[in-house]
Structure 1
Amino acid sequence: MTIGVIIVTYRCRDLALAALHSIQTHAPDLLPTTVVVDNASLDGTVQAVRQAFPTVRIIEHRRNLGFAAAVNRGIQELAQAEVLCLLNPDAELLDDGIFAAAHYLQTHPEVGVLGGRILNPDGSIQPSARAFPSHYNALFNRHSLLTKLFPHNRWSRQYLMTDWDHHDTRPVDWVSGAFMLLHRRALQAVGPFDPAYFFSIEDVDFCRRVHQAGLQVHYYPGAAVRHRIGGSSRRAVYRAMAGHHRGMWRYYRKHLRGNPFLDILTASGIALRLALHATSYTFRAAPARLLRRQPR
């Protein structure tokens, strides 16, 4: 069984080196089948990776094609791999469980996608296995005010699956692309990732298509990573926000659209959410920008 690892980078040199170092530490045999797909970082990422990890394959894009398109290029490069692992550059392997996870996929033909255990930097569980989005998630998603004010309400718990300690293997709706393993059978069943998703939501869409093809998505706690949310997008915050919300609308149009009134309400809600997030970030980031501009 051949395992391939795909890491998509954009202006995150130090994070990418840390991710690769974690592979070198816990799964060194996978470095020759690891592909770094760089979306025109222009920050020395490619040169640093080439120097520190000469056996890692590197694909350089002249412009930022987005996450899904870059993943697809990595899949093409690793055409002989039976199991593929998507690893964010802001994530680091914490053990060698990737081999056990791949074996699980290989020996469970009903499963197409597997998600590992993802931890926050403080060691707490990151809700990376969730229910499929629906309209009420606009009020009870991870970043919503109601979830922050009432984190134990049943709707947020249901969507984020926080009632479960994440210590057992089980079927779920979807798992995060920050640390996702997929078997070749899933790609044969549904094709590659949808490249129209520039950043975010492509993992939800892929898992939904896997379900529709008759395969299952499982959460598997035997492989763990530490993930710094937003670490790989901090150099392009507004573009990441826009990409995320465009992805929300695309997902809705592909899988949930039907009622004209709800279509208008959903589109307006997504646009309003983007405006609020961008405004909030602008005000929160303003003091730091002012400090950087002050003469020393």
Structure 2
Amino acid sequence: MDITASIVSHGHGTQVEGLLAQLAQTGGHRPRRVIVTLNLPEPGLTVRLRARDWPFDLDVTENAAPAGFGTNHNRAFERDGRHGASALFAVLNPDLRWRAEPWGAMAAVLETDPRAGAVYPVQLDAAGRRQDHERLLPTPARLLARHVLRRPAEVGEGQRPDWVNAAFLLLRRTAYAGIHGFDEGFHMYCEDVDLCLRLQLAGWRLARADGAVVEHAAQRASRREARHLLWHARSLLRLWRSPAWRAWRSGPTRIPDSSASP
């Protein structure tokens, strides 16, 4: 398939190898190129990956210094362009797994809905429970409800999310390029919120592929580590000052479902 997938490892070598093995076992529905960015030194991983014969073009790049989530994926996007760009660009977390390949169902959504700029799968946790990867615009009140009042569910049945997490996104290259990818001012956290809002404000739609189901082992490090909590707080402040957040809160331009009646 005309897809380039970007995977960033922050010392997650074992998970990266497992994900690549799954991609290799996938039939005709798989990316033609995979770009793995090592954000931290993993010399043993580099040697192992480059020594194997993969059924896709594997590009392993090592950062001289760690970069943020969005920066790494933006660099992979640019790298893909220099080597012959794919029509679709996928952002993948290393901690993803699936029982049935998700690519065909996700690509089909983009083929049938020309207004869909990004498609995402259904995400389950290790116990098979549906994760809350579809969210509404983060506001102080919603964060209070989620983390203090313990009311995590935000998107009701049949309700459209304002954003989805970027553990697995398949985007049109034109859509990603049109909004200049991720905002690199976010080191970690909230860059997926910002990306989804800007995509929709630019006239694209977020679409869920119900036929694609993946398992995502969400780390939620900001609940355990002070450094991550600080990054999360800084990212929220940046998001709340952003033009995209303010524009969406004042009255988002929602793109209707292609299946909706006129």
Normalising by the smaller structure, the TM-score range is 0.7 to 0.9
Question: 1:195-274 residue pairs with structure 2 within 5 A?
Answer: 195-230=184-219, 237-255=225-243, 256=245
**1:52-82 C-alpha deviation (Å, 9 max, x unpaired):** 4554111111111111000001111222111
Tell me how large the CA RMSD over aligned residues is. 2.6
**Equivalent position SS for 2:61:** strand
Say if 1:115 and 1:129, in contact at 8 Å, map to a contact too: no
SS state at 1:193 partner: coil
SS of 2:240 mapped into structure 1:
helix
Is the 8 Å Cα contact of residues 46 and 58 (structure 1) preserved in structure 2?
yes
1:119 and 1:206, CA in 2 relative to 1: closer, same or farther beyond 3 A?
same
| Partner residue, 2:161 | 172
For structure 2, the residue ranges without an aligned partner over 5 or more in a row are 248-262
C-alpha distance in structure 2 between counterparts of 1:50 and 1:220, whole Å: 33
Q: Which residue of 1 aligns with 2:8?
A: 8
Distance 1:90 1:53, change over 3 A: farther
Contact 2:2 2:31 in 1 (8 A): no
**1:172 match: secondary structure:** coil
Q: When you count helix as a share of all residues, which structure comes out higher?
A: 1
Q: How many residues were matched structurally?
A: 240
Give the residue type in structure 1 aligned to 2:7.
Answer: I
Summarize the alignment of residues 1-296 of structure 1 with structure 2, pairs less than 5 Å apart. Answer: 2-27=2-27, 30=30, 32-42=32-42, 44-52=44-52, 54=54, 55-79=57-81, 80-141=85-146, 144-147=147-150, 151=151, 156-157=152-153, 159=154, 161=155, 163-164=156-157, 171-230=160-219, 237-255=225-243, 256=245
Letter of the aligned partner of 1:21 in structure 2? Answer: A
CA distance in 2, matches of 1:227, 1:146: 25
Structure 1, 53-62 or 123-132: larger mean CA deviation:
53-62
TM-score, normalisation: structure 1 = 0.73
Q: Is the 8 A contact 1:171 1:216 kept in 2?
A: no
Identity among equivalent positions (%) equals 25
* Per-residue deviation, 1:218: 1.6
Tell me which amino acid in the other structure corresponds to 1:207.
Answer: C
Note if contact 2:35-2:58 (Cα within 8 Å) is conserved in structure 1: yes
CA pair 181-248 structure 1, distance change in 2 beyond 3 A:
same
Q: Deviations over 1:233-281 (max 9, x none)?
A: 69x94433332222111111104569xxxxxxxxxxxxxxxxxxxxxxx
Secondary structure at the aligned position of 1:4 is classed as strand
User: What is the match of residue 257 of structure 2?
Assistant: none
Higher Cα Rg: structure 1 or 2? 1
CA distance in 2, matches of 1:208, 1:257: 10
Deviations along 1:104-155, whole A, 9 cap, x unmatched? 11331111111111110111111111111122112122xx1311xxx4xxxx
Q: What TM-score results when the alignment is normalised by the length of structure 2? A: 0.82
CA separation of 1:110 and 1:43: change in aligned 2, threshold 3 A: same
